[in-house]
Chains A and B, each alone.
Chain A
């Protein structure tokens, strides 16, 4: 039995894993396309390659909660898919010590036409569970998910939140030794997210299961994981305690301070929506507590978009959301025809942020779906100024948001 340096048993031993895809002749190709591909290759044109993952080596101890942090396209999901056995690596090998349960996407393995009850069994079966094992835990699963009333309703009639809850409940209660969790916390309400985090923690603590956890929620990574990997461009760029990784990610990965404008077209995206944010410009000159911060975002549509709204969140160095706005609350709805461009100018009045570094995340969405989502697109620094209300005690109080306030102290 291999053990890691700390003496704990190994759960995963990842050695030199790499994955590249041929770009030409991909998805849904027909025979004709393959033939032209052959012709191209016989003339010495090499097939285009895309490297999703390169030389990833890592040991994960049993009972460890390992966080994976990085931008979209950094290779986190590909790594999880390889460990799950869904896709095969092009180089390297992974030794897996235990049964792997994966939540690579919410409700994977759920069939929309089947009822909640039937889906619990189906999902369990995908994890290699016996029906009797699932039956044993069925009540526990249902109780955790809180969808008792809809057990005999087809999943297609569930809200996305309900489906996530059931999916998570199944995965968390099934007998997997290694649980792969990919961005499940992006959906579901706050209360359920906390319940999930609590469950992951409990599972690890009581049963010593190993968890690989991908999330853009840096606060969750920092609080849940003992150790994290920072990934970029398919490589592991840092392997360190989680708080250090989240600090690195929120400071190092984002583009440098207030460059006049940042091109967003080249950033990797999880999906190609009808429109995308192509450029952002942050402020002109110094950004100080109490000043006005101006953000200019350019949006370009490849398909018609109606009534979209732009959300901007500022994340502090510790990965905590510090501030957020959504244009619709100021009646800022965005309508775009094909090929049309819009420049959205947001002026944040009287910035109530403590001095420090922040990164911005952008979300372009309609009322029903996400159109474009970008994390840590730009980094800006709020510099200290003479306003003692914000910076008399650096780093304390710990919160980023520092409201203006009055205080009255009188004899009681």
Chain B
């Protein structure tokens, strides 16, 4: 090309060939990534998920940081919300309806159930809007999409940890600290609860991309599930002949067991919990499968 045709000659610094070949990711003959049109679903690439592990943490921390930003009370909400909810339930179910609470003060009884429930509900709710709430990310940046819903789990666990600490402090003051053996069941039950929430959340997140109806249906279903689960009341008030059906809701034995473990009263219904664990795992596997089947369309449909 002749000099006369060159625009902006002052921008033109001669480009020598690269001196150091950049070989970091090129040593292998295989492509780093292969983009194909003929895949029905996105494969679950564990190596890639591992490479992106810091994104998971960053997203989870972003959720935690953002939640109470620009609120007057800030982090205090983490403590206030379960206290307020437990207060209302105590008033209605404990003082007015006078339901039994296995010997514990009704407020603590509800509080122990509620922190477990709210970790389940928060994960499910945040999962379900995790894609549609991050439209610009989904349409503009590549990363394993599973990161978005799964990152919701950390914030829920953090909330639970705070509620748990508060509960233990109160129990300590009252001299009713549960035995360690009883508390050991807590992480197991929480794990199953989160697996269940994440599994359902993956379904909801994928469906919400196409049908925004999910946004309106979810709060209603969650409300329904709250009343179908032992949060505001104990399993003991459910008539014995209905209890078999009642425990078909996997959340029920999990919350019942969690409350028993947290308060050190009653016993964890391990048989029902085992059933719930199997169901939760199945739901997670199916949810992941469903989520990945839709994966290739998210950016186009959202």
Binding site for B on A (CB under 8 A): 1, 9, 13, 17-18, 21, 26-31, 34, 62-63, 81-100, 102, 104-105, 108-109, 111, 113-114, 118, 121-122, 125-126, 128-131, 175, 177, 194, 197, 201, 204-209, 218-220, 222-224, 226, 241, 243, 246-247, 318-320, 395-396, 398
Quick check: which of B53-61, B86-94, B173-181, B275-283 contacts chain A, the rest being far away?
B53-61
Which chain B residues lie closer than 8 Å to A102 at the CB level? 140-142
Q: Are B59 and A97 interface neighbours, CB within 8 A?
A: no
* Contact A99-B1, Cβ < 8 Å, known A93-B37, A113-B66: no
Q: Are A114 and B66 interface neighbours, CB within 8 A?
A: yes
Q: Are B143 and A126 interface neighbours, CB within 8 A?
A: yes
Closest to A104 in B: B140
Q: Pick the contact of B213 from A30, A93, A96, A197 — CB < 8 Å?
A: A30
Q: Pick the contact of A243 from B1, B25, B297, B300 — CB < 8 Å?
A: B1
Closest to B138 in A: A86
Which chain A residues lie closer than 8 Å to B13 at the CB level? 201
Q: Are A95 and B31 interface neighbours, CB within 8 A?
A: yes
Q: Are A96 and B4 interface neighbours, CB within 8 A?
A: no
Q: Does B241 contact A (CB under 8 A)?
A: no
- 17 of the cross-chain contacts (CB-CB < 8 Å) are A13-B31, A27-B301, A86-B299, A88-B296, A92-B37, A93-B38, A95-B31, A96-B32, A102-B142, A105-B140, A122-B59, A128-B51, A128-B52, A129-B54, A206-B19, A224-B11, A318-B7
Q: Are A220 and B57 interface neighbours, CB within 8 A?
A: no
Which chain A residues lie closer than 8 Å to B62 at the CB level? 111, 114, 118, 122
Q: Interface readout for B1-15 with A: 1 if CB under 8 Å, 0 if not?
A: 100111110011101
Q: Are B21 and A130 interface neighbours, CB within 8 A?
A: no
**9 shortest A-B CB distances, which residue pairs?**
A208-B18, A85-B142, A95-B31, A125-B55, A208-B22, A125-B58, A108-B140, A94-B35, A223-B11
> What would 6 more interface pairs be, CB under 8 Å, given A208-B22, A222-B8?
A85-B33, A88-B297, A92-B37, A95-B31, A125-B58, A207-B22
Cα A204 to Cα B17 in complex, Å, equals: 9
Q: Are A131 and B57 interface neighbours, CB within 8 A?
A: yes
Which chain B residues lie closer than 8 Å to A209 at the CB level? 22
Which chain A residues lie closer than 8 Å to B139 at the CB level? 86-87
Which chain B residues lie closer than 8 Å to A122 at the CB level? 58-59, 62
Q: Are B33 and A96 interface neighbours, CB within 8 A?
A: yes
Q: Are B301 and A26 interface neighbours, CB within 8 A?
A: yes
Q: Interface readout for B104-146 with A: 1 if CB under 8 Å, 0 if not?
A: 0000000000000000000000000000000011111111000
Cα A62 to Cα B31 in complex, Å, equals: 13
Q: Which interface class (under 10, 10 to 19, 20 to 34, 35 or more) fits B?
A: 35 or more
Q: Does B70 contact A (CB under 8 A)?
A: yes
Which chain B residues lie closer than 8 Å to A223 at the CB level? 6-8, 11-12
* Contact A197-B32, Cβ < 8 Å, known A93-B37, A126-B141: no
Q: Does B240 contact A (CB under 8 A)?
A: no
A313 to chain B, nearest CB (A): 14
Cα A318 to Cα B5 in complex, Å, equals: 7
Which chain A residues lie closer than 8 Å to B300 at the CB level? 21, 87
Q: Pick the contact of A96 from B17, B34, B69, B210 — CB < 8 Å?
A: B34
B1 to chain A, nearest CB (A): 5
Q: Does B98 contact A (CB under 8 A)?
A: no
A147 to chain B, nearest CB (A): 20
Which chain A residues lie closer than 8 Å to B244 at the CB level? none
Which chain A residues lie closer than 8 Å to B22 at the CB level? 62-63, 177, 207-209
Q: Pick the contact of B36 from A81, A93, A100, A105 — CB < 8 Å?
A: A93
Cα A108 to Cα B141 in complex, Å, equals: 7
Q: Pick the contact of B29 from A1, A28, A130 — CB < 8 Å?
A: A1
B273 to chain A, nearest CB (A): 36
* Contact A87-B299, Cβ < 8 Å, known A97-B25, A97-B26, A97-B32: yes
Which chain B residues lie closer than 8 Å to A88 at the CB level? 35, 37, 39, 296-297
Q: Are A29 and B29 interface neighbours, CB within 8 A?
A: no
Cα A90 to Cα B24 in complex, Å, equals: 31
Q: Are B7 and A205 interface neighbours, CB within 8 A?
A: no
Q: Does B211 contact A (CB under 8 A)?
A: yes
Cα A67 to Cα B17 in complex, Å, equals: 18
B59 to chain A, nearest CB (A): 7
Cα A18 to Cα B211 in complex, Å, equals: 27
